[in-house]
Structure 1
Amino acid sequence: MARSLNKVQLIGNLTRDPELRYTPNGTAVCSFGLATNRGWTTDTGEKKEEAEFHRVVAWNKLAELCSQFLKKGSKAFVEGRLSTRSWNAQDGSQRSATEIIISDMIVLDGRRSTVEEPEEVEAETKKPEKSKKTDKKEEEKDQPEVVNEELQSEVSPDDIPF
Structure 2
Amino acid sequence: MLNEHKIIGHLGNDPEKISFENGGSITKFSVATTKKWRDKLTNEMKSDTQWHNIVASGRYSDLTHQYLKKGSKVYLEGEPRHRSYGEPKKYITEVHINKVIFLEKTERPTPLDNMPNKIKSNDDDDLPF
Q: TM-score range by the shorter chain?
A: 0.7 to 0.9
Q: How does 1:1-162 map to 2 (within 5 A)?
A: 4-44=1-41, 45-87=43-85, 89=86, 92-109=87-104, 111-113=105-107, 116=109
Q: Of Structure 1 and Structure 2, which has the larger fraction of its residues in strand?
A: 2
Q: Of Structure 1 and Structure 2, which has the larger fraction of its residues in helix?
A: 1
5+ long unaligned stretches in structure 1: 121-162
Q: Residue 21 and residue 119 in structure 1: after superposition, are their counterparts in 2 closer, same or farther (change >3 A)?
A: farther
Between 1:23-32 and 1:7-16, the stretch displaced more is 23-32
Find the residue that maps to 1:93 and give its secondary structure: coil
Q: Residue 46 and residue 96 in structure 1: after superposition, are their counterparts in 2 closer, same or farther (change >3 A)?
A: same
The percentage of aligned residue pairs carrying the same residue is 33
2:122 aligned residue: none
RMSD over aligned Cα, in angstroms? 1.8
- Structure 2 CA distance, aligned partners of 1:104 and 1:57? 11
Partner AA of 2:58 in structure 1: N
Find the residue that maps to 1:76 and give its secondary structure: strand
Q: Is the Cα–Cα contact under 8 Å of residues 28 and 61 in structure 1 kept in the other structure?
A: no
| CA deviation map 1:37-78 (0-9, x unaligned) | 011111212211111111000111110111011011100000
- TM-superposed CA distance for 1:86, in Å, is 1.1
Runs of 4+ in 1 over 4 A off after TM superposition: 117-120
Partner AA of 1:28 in structure 2: S
- Structure 1 CA distance, aligned partners of 2:10 and 2:102? 10
- Structure 2 CA distance, aligned partners of 1:50 and 1:117? 39
- Greater relative contact order (CA < 8 Å, ≥ 6 in sequence): 2
- Structure 2 CA distance, aligned partners of 1:49 and 1:38? 5
